[in-house]
Chain A
């Protein structure tokens, strides 16, 4: 004897595919977000990624895209589920079942599924993150810093996402049940979602809006800071990207509704286009999600190859094999000691040079920030002693570099990187140099000569006479020794030994980070403000601490003020120094591409299966197996190709724009090489996605009974 609950059980069993689809989509979304969050909030990652740095912002930006993608995907899955349940629900209502009982039953089912999916997603996301990271450590690289630690507070985000998912499902259910017209509910399952006719200019306008949004989104924040002296909240600047999103929607809408083929060439695709149009809104929304996720995934995927390519090229082009500097008076290895160590390692030191440099104060504009009703604004305040700069005399420079520089009195030459750029952090724009001890000043004008040198990047050079005058009375603690040399038959063992020797001999005063600036510190203190890089503020501002017992840690090597630049050491240890950075972005890319793959597969299969009856009708009209396969291929390829192509092209162009913007309006040769590597990544990922497309196509053929040997 059957009760109503037995009836519901039977119905569930019969349509377990739909329940599994809903469960799978919810599970995957929470699973992915859990894995991402745990990694993003892991102390392993947070200890390495600098606070307020671009890397953290990029990881967060991609995370936001992933959350939007997963959110839209779960709503799509829920929409499909309710459409499927519509006929059952309508029949029950038509036969006199009360909405209260049906609502209670459906709430129980949906609540249980979503709860189970969320709990399992959160539970399995953790071992998954650990597993992927462990595979990285086993197969790619492993450093002590890569030991994975989880901060369980990170569960707050997937927990909040789970609550959102459950609440969204229950709201959708309430709206669904709240419909007055039973006939509407019954017909819901078969209702098409055609998109109204769309003018053909929609595609071109979409492209224009995408370009406009990308330009506005990228340049407006800079404009606000530089021209309006206003640090707009990040949420507000994100608004400027909205035209790009709207344009993307129009572009995809045009692809689905009109297609890009004109005239008679559209006839072979007529059926596929027509079928897509009647799945319109859902299809375009899905394509938009995939496009955004593809863009996010590639953005993460580009990070490691771009970093590796530019760094390796830059290292290869360094003019010196070895460069280091240290405060005068510290007992560092001298030429004889270095040669002795070299001999032990069977190599010969050549071109040994050593010159003094001094630290002087330079002028500039201090940005004095203040809170206002529109956020943080700043005013520029000229400071004759804004920050410190390392200076060489022109003769010292010539000795170190072999140049024949001859500056006029009152001229200062800045040292740019080997490609002639300031890397966005260094400019040749000072007008006053001050001796920090005697407070004697020297007015300077920038020289037209551009000095290029990677190892002495951001130093400045003065005329010998000026240098002698301004450095008079300067105490030893403001003076450094710069050492440069090359090696014949260079060896990693020698470089590492010398590096460790330098660290061993460093004194406590040298335990400072590279952004520490004595002049700026004095300025802050004179204004009654605390200086962020003071060691006592390290914890408060999450500033890395220089620990001489951990010279091989990436925190030490990336942040120590006196970190030697040894080509062979930097080349060999690049991946280990950057391991957490590189692998984090690879991890993020894998997660996003996995999401892309799952959504593409799910959407393609549901699209094909929903339209199965059309294939039956076409078969009755005499369509051959080949024609039916071509139609199925047309549908699925559109779901795959359009968002992947648009997402890939969009992010590659945007990435190039970022490089262009960061590089003061130019792209360096090493960045071009990095972009070339990114193209290789695109090729490899596209090949994988093509494999997924073929697999999906074969599965769809099988579901639609269109396999090659059948008609």
Chain B
């Protein structure tokens, strides 16, 4: 589904060049729910932005199915973003002037696929994520959790091959976070969605099938949940992160 191979990215600030990704490689299979965790500055968000093609990478391959995202032109990238990728942002990025239902339909409208099926799909997603009662409200009138569930529904309306989520629970309280994670699980189970999520939140990550741990621009390890129960998996995650922290402190 998604294959990232030897991805490099550096930022130039003044005369100093900061290498953020130093050869990241991993794969995500169809139907998988994968999280990326790591300390601040490890390159998580940069990795997500490169996969989304929001920022260009310096070298390496990003394959979505058979398509190499790193070499696409502007028009082709727009088409991929619209049809093959779905996005969920930390600060929701809902348009204030549109209702919840209109926001959900937006990717289809942008893609020119305007039909009754679009409205039916939006209504169905509203039902799936429990936001039917607010579908005619504007973002300013709903809670943070409801906004994020709207964003998840929007990400799914085009049945994308991959959902990319950037700290989707970052701005939410625990109850709303749980609701958003439930909506991802629901999307995975009911719609066979593939989800790639960047997060700081070990609780959110503990629901994933696999967690990639990033440190200093490199994949340090990958934890597979398998049959482990969620609490134990969260403990495992916290331990790995704690160990990474200790090793950082120990460094000269």
Q: Is the CB of B114 within 8 A of A3?
A: yes
Mark out the residues of chain A between 611 and 634 whose CB falls within 8 Å of any chain B CB in the assembled complex. Answer: none
Chain A residues near B112: list those with CB within 8 A.
4
Q: Is the CB of B93 within 8 A of A186?
A: yes
Q: Is the CB of A97 within 8 A of B105?
A: no
Jot down 12 A-B pairs with beta carbons below 8 A, ordered by A.
Answer: A1-B115, A2-B105, A2-B114, A4-B109, A7-B98, A14-B96, A91-B94, A92-B110, A95-B110, A96-B80, A96-B110, A182-B54
Q: Which B residues are within 8 Å of any A CB, using their own CB?
A: 49, 52, 54-56, 74-75, 78-83, 85, 87, 89, 93-98, 102, 105-107, 109-112, 114-116, 118-119, 138, 154
Q: Is the CB of A99 within 8 A of B110?
A: no
Chain B residues near A94: list those with CB within 8 A.
52, 54, 81, 87, 89, 93
Q: Does A10 contact B (CB under 8 A)?
A: yes
The tally of CB-CB contacts under 8 A between chains A and B is 84
* Min CB gap B117→A, angstroms: 10
Known contacts: A14-B96, A180-B56. The answer to whether A96 contacts B82 by CB under 8 A is yes
Q: Is the CB of A11 within 8 A of B54?
A: no
A1-B115, A96-B110 known, 17 other contacts, Cβ within 8 Å:
A1-B116, A2-B102, A2-B114, A3-B109, A3-B114, A7-B98, A7-B106, A13-B97, A91-B94, A94-B81, A94-B89, A95-B81, A95-B107, A96-B81, A96-B83, A183-B49, A186-B93
* Min CB gap A53→B, angstroms: 55
Chain A residues near B118: list those with CB within 8 A.
1
Interface 0/1 of A87-123, CB less than 8 Å to B: 1101111111111100000000000000000000000
Q: Is the CB of B74 within 8 A of A96?
A: no
Chain B residues near A88: list those with CB within 8 A.
95, 97
Q: Is the CB of B102 within 8 A of A7?
A: yes
Among B56, B78, B107, B154, max chain A CB count under 10 A is at B78
* Min CB gap A455→B, angstroms: 74
Chain B residues near A97: list those with CB within 8 A.
78, 82, 110
* Min CB gap B140→A, angstroms: 10
* Min CB gap B144→A, angstroms: 16
Mark out the residues of chain A between 1 and 55 whose CB falls within 8 Å of any chain B CB in the assembled complex. Answer: 1-4, 7, 10-15
Q: Which A residues are within 8 Å of any B CB, using their own CB?
A: 1-4, 7, 10-15, 87-88, 90-100, 180-183, 186
Secondary structure at chain B's binding surface: helix, strand, loop or mixed? helix
Q: Is the CB of B97 within 8 A of A95?
A: no
**Who on chain B is nearest to A1 by CB?**
B114
Known contacts: A13-B97, A88-B95. The answer to whether A96 contacts B54 by CB under 8 A is no
Q: Is the CB of B107 within 8 A of A96?
A: yes
Q: Is the CB of B78 within 8 A of A98?
A: yes
Among A3, A10, A93, A96, max chain B CB count under 10 A is at A96
Q: How far is the CA of A7 from the CA of B74 in the complex (A)?
A: 23
* Min CB gap A261→B, angstroms: 33
**Who on chain A is nearest to B112 by CB?**
A4
Q: How far is the CA of A91 from the CA of B95 in the complex (A)?
A: 8
**Who on chain A is nearest to B52 by CB?**
A94
Q: Is the CB of A95 within 8 A of B87?
A: yes
Chain B residues near A92: list those with CB within 8 A.
106, 110
**Who on chain B is nearest to A4 by CB?**
B109
Partner of A10, one of B79, B89, B102, B110: B102
Q: Is the CB of A1 within 8 A of B96?
A: no
Partner of B55, one of A3, A100, A181: A181
Known contacts: A94-B87, A95-B106. The answer to whether A183 contacts B54 by CB under 8 A is yes
Chain B residues near A99: list those with CB within 8 A.
74, 78
Q: How far is the CA of A12 from the CA of B96 in the complex (A)?
A: 11
Chain A residues near B119: list those with CB within 8 A.
1
* Min CB gap B14→A, angstroms: 13
Q: How far is the CA of A98 from the CA of B102 in the complex (A)?
A: 19
**Who on chain B is nearest to A7 by CB?**
B109
Partner of A11, one of B80, B87, B97, B110: B97
* Min CB gap B120→A, angstroms: 11
Q: Is the CB of B82 within 8 A of A95?
A: yes
**Who on chain A is nearest to B87 by CB?**
A94
Q: Is the CB of B55 within 8 A of A183?
A: yes
Chain A residues near B87: list those with CB within 8 A.
94-95
Chain A residues near B98: list those with CB within 8 A.
7, 10-11, 14
Q: How far is the CA of A1 from the CA of B116 in the complex (A)?
A: 7
Q: Is the CB of A96 within 8 A of B55?
A: no
Q: How far is the CA of A186 from the CA of B95 in the complex (A)?
A: 12
Q: How far is the CA of A186 from the CA of B89 in the complex (A)?
A: 11
Partner of B54, one of A3, A14, A15, A181: A181
Q: How far is the CA of A239 from the CA of B188 in the complex (A)?
A: 68
Q: How far is the CA of A98 from the CA of B107 in the complex (A)?
A: 12
* Min CB gap A703→B, angstroms: 17
